[in-house]
Amino acid sequence: MKFSNTYSQLDSAFYQRIAPTKVAAPQLLLWNKNLAQSLLIDEQITNNHNLLAQYFSGNQIPDGAEPMALAYSGHQFGHFNPNLGDGRAHLLGEIIDNDNKRFDIQLKGSGPTQFSRQGDGRCAIGPAVREYIMSEAMFALGVPTSRCLSVVITGEPVYREQVMPGAVVTRVASSHIRVGTFQYFAAKGDLESLNTLTDYTINRHFSHIDINAEDKIEQFLVCAIDKQIELIIAWMRVGFIHGVMNTDNTAISGETIDFGPCAMMSHYHSGTVFSSIDKQGRYAFGNQPHIAQWNMARLAECLLLLVDSNQEKALEKIEPLIIAFNAKFETAYFTMLANKLGLNEVAKKDHQFINELLELMQKQQLDYTSTFAKLTDSLTDTDIQDTLKQQLGDWYANWLTMLASKNQSAQTAKTLMAKNNPLVIPRNHHVEAILAEYETSGQSTVIDDFLEVLRSPYEQLKRTSQFQDEPKDGDHQYRTFCGT
């Protein structure tokens, strides 16, 4: 493993240097071979499961790693908490992959840090495996996301509502710079660190921006906003509900991070919420764009201080960028839905037509994934056409007419739809069943079989049909919990 660390070169205000706390009996449960290969991790290490368990539990620090817990703040459900930070995670360092991209390698559940507050610094096995499964699924679905390299069982109990086996999950992400990282320094009024962080972030994520440009802050904010728009569009394309879009869980890279209470939508309803603590539906499926914009406004507030010492002037420059989110999002959103319907582009006058489908789906409690998959198949399957005619009535006939009126073949439409409409997603009831099955049997093969299917979500593999069924109650009773 070849570390090439840059965050550790920032000054000590950015982190606490601290080693993970050793665990009793580390044992490798999951290892992401493909990801390890792309990170150019030696075969010799990869084949040595004992060594992997040592490294990725935090018991042994690999050469070149510089473990640290990062400082950050965050708005949690709208309330600002200045003191968050990695309370149970250790960044080991950065690795350049085979594509010349830089990635953070971070242990989560690896022991307390100065940011732990009341927490034990640990992670239970269930949430660790869930994060591994969900992030692999999201990656294969084509959604920007952090990934997991491994899950190691610690051999120690963690005390939650019940006693659970402990685990350390290793996360790989383009970086762990969050909106909350900017808030941490802005809240302290530490402009020097805020400046350093901004330049560091630009260099790391948006290196096309000229660091000496007078409007570099505005350019940076536009890039960060565009990444969030891309992210939320990708989530909504596959029916993902993050569940805890706090500013400390919003990565500036635009990757999905923190899979705590996330879930997949079954029946289409814009108000779908699964998280047990999200009583007001702040992070409901259809509210995600609004929250992403709100989070970007929090980032913008931090940046105001750097744009102009005259805050009114700064606001004049920054505010329009936040307002522009809405129009940009709308265009991207309807293009995404048009693609799901086999249309390359969409005119504003057709937005209503697309909304009508969503309204029909909502009214009739239709499954989001299955409906789009059926629409795709219906282009070549008359039985499915009949079903959809019954379910969607005139809308379905109008859609076929619309497709025919475009200058494109049915095959072109079908290809576009097949790329945008997954056949299989990590449905909540299957994720839960796999976790329960693993808990009973202790065999990781059940997880591997599930992952094999999830890694090819646009292909019908031999086992795909095992995981395509809709939940019997449409997941109306399903609840998720912050996996601390």
Ligand X SMILES: Nc1ncnc2c1ncn2[C@@H]1O[C@H](COP(=O)(O)OP(=O)(O)OP(=O)(O)O)[C@@H](O)[C@H]1O
Which among 10-18, 42-50, 133-141, 253-261 is the span making contact with ligand X, rule CB under 6 A? 253-261
Task: State the binding partner of 85 from ligand X, Mg ion, none, CB within 5 to 8 A by kind.
Answer: ligand X
Contact 92, 105 (CB under 8 A): yes
CA dist., res. 254 & res. 4, Å (int): 22
Q: Determine, following the binding rule CB under 6 A, whether residue 86 of this chain makes contact with ligand X.
A: yes
| 199 known ligand binder | no
Which among 39-47, 85-93, 232-240, 313-321 is the span making contact with ligand X, rule CB under 6 A? 85-93
Cα 110 to chain centroid, rounded: 21
Which among 200-208, 242-250, 303-311, 454-462 is the span making contact with Mg ion, rule CB under 5 A? 242-250
Nearer to ligand X, 70 or 366 (CB): 70
- Going by C-alpha positions, the residue among 16, 7, 209 that lies closest to residue 111 is 16
Contact 72, 84 (CB under 8 A): yes
Nearer to ligand X, 282 or 340 (CB): 282
| 87 known ligand binder | yes
- Going by C-alpha positions, the residue among 286, 244, 228 that lies closest to residue 75 is 244
Contact 448, 88 (CB under 8 A): no
| 188 known ligand binder | no
Q: Determine, following the binding rule CB under 6 A, whether residue 88 of this chain makes contact with ligand X.
A: yes
- Number of residues binding to ligand X, judged by CB under 6 A: 18
Shortest Å distance, C-beta 111 to ligand X: 9
Nearer to ligand X, 88 or 205 (CB): 88
Q: Which of 248, 278, 377, 475 is catalytic?
A: 248
Cα 139 to chain centroid, rounded: 9
Task: Return the percent helix, strand and coil in the chain, to nearest 5.
Answer: 50, 15, 35
Q: Determine, following the binding rule CB under 6 A, whether residue 257 of this chain makes contact with ligand X.
A: yes
Q: Which residue is nearest to Mg ion (CB)?
A: 258
Q: Determine, following the binding rule CB under 6 A, whether residue 258 of this chain makes contact with ligand X.
A: yes
Write the Ramachandran bin of 149: left for phi over 0, alpha for psi from -120 to 50, otherwise beta. alpha
- N-term to C-term CA, the chain: 29
Q: Determine, following the binding rule CB under 6 A, whether residue 260 of this chain makes contact with ligand X.
A: yes
Shortest Å distance, C-beta 231 to Mg ion: 16
Helix, strand, or coil here: 48? Answer: coil
CA dist., res. 185 & res. 303, Å (int): 11
Q: Determine, following the binding rule CB under 5 A, whether residue 249 of this chain makes contact with Mg ion.
A: yes
Q: Determine, following the binding rule CB under 6 A, whether residue 367 of this chain makes contact with ligand X.
A: no
Contact 250, 347 (CB under 8 A): no
Give residues 132-151 in contact with Mg ion (rule: CB under 5 A).
none
| 86 known ligand binder | no
Shortest Å distance, C-beta 484 to ligand X: 4
Q: Determine, following the binding rule CB under 6 A, whether residue 121 of this chain makes contact with ligand X.
A: yes
Cα 259 to chain centroid, rounded: 7
Shortest Å distance, C-beta 161 to ligand X: 13
What's the Rg (C-alpha) of the chain?
Answer: 23
- Residue 169 belongs to what H/E stretch? strand 163-173
Contact 23, 57 (CB under 8 A): yes
Is 248 an active-site residue? yes
Q: Determine, following the binding rule CB under 6 A, whether residue 87 of this chain makes contact with ligand X.
A: yes
Write the Ramachandran bin of 36: left for phi over 0, alpha for psi from -120 to 50, otherwise beta. alpha
Give residues 191-250 in contact with ligand X (rule: CB under 6 A).
249
Residue from 116, 331, 362, 387 touching ligand X (CB under 6 A): that is 116
Q: Determine, following the binding rule CB under 5 A, whether residue 258 of this chain makes contact with Mg ion.
A: yes
Q: Please give the backbone phi and psi of residue 233, each rounded to the nearest 5 degrees, phi first.
A: -60, -45
DSSP summary character for residue 99? T
Contact 58, 23 (CB under 8 A): yes
| 455 known ligand binder | no
Q: Given the rule CB under 6 A, which residues bind ligand X?
A: 84-89, 115-116, 119-122, 249, 257-258, 260, 482, 484
Q: Which residues are annotated as a binding site for ATP?
A: 85, 87-88, 108, 120-121, 171, 178, 258
Residue stretches of the annotated binding site for Mg(2+):
249, 258
Q: What residue numbers does the annotated binding site cover?
A: 85, 87-88, 108, 120-121, 171, 178, 249, 258
Binding site for Mg ion (CB under 5 A): 249, 258
* Catalytic center residues: 248
